[in-house]
Amino acid sequence: MSWKDWVHITKLDPDRYLDKDAIEIVATSGTDALMLSGTLNVTPENQAELYDLVRDYDMPIVVEPADPCGARFEGIDLVFVPSVLNASHPLWIVGQHQRWVRNYSIDWERVVPEAYIVLNPASSVAKVTGSDCSLSAEAVSAYATVADRYFRFPVVYIEYSGTYGDPDVVKAVSENVSDARIFYGGGINNAERAAEMSAYADTIVVGNAVYEAGIEALKATVRAVR
Binding residues for sn-glycerol 1-phosphate: 11, 157-162, 187, 207-208
Q: At 43, is the secondary structure helix, strand, or coil?
A: coil
Residues sharing a CB contact under 8 Å with residue 74, sequence separation 6 or more, in sequence order = none
Annotated binding site: 11, 13, 39, 157-162, 187, 207-208
Contact present, 71 and 81 (Cβ < 8 Å): yes
Please state, as a whole number, how many other Cβ atoms lie within 10 Å of the Cβ of residue 31: 26
- Please state, in angstroms and as integers, the Cα–Cα distance from residue 184 to each residue in 32, 41, 108, following that order: 15, 23, 24
8: number of CA atoms within 13 Å, CB side? 24
Annotated binding site for Mg(2+): 13, 39
Contact present, 10 and 35 (Cβ < 8 Å): yes
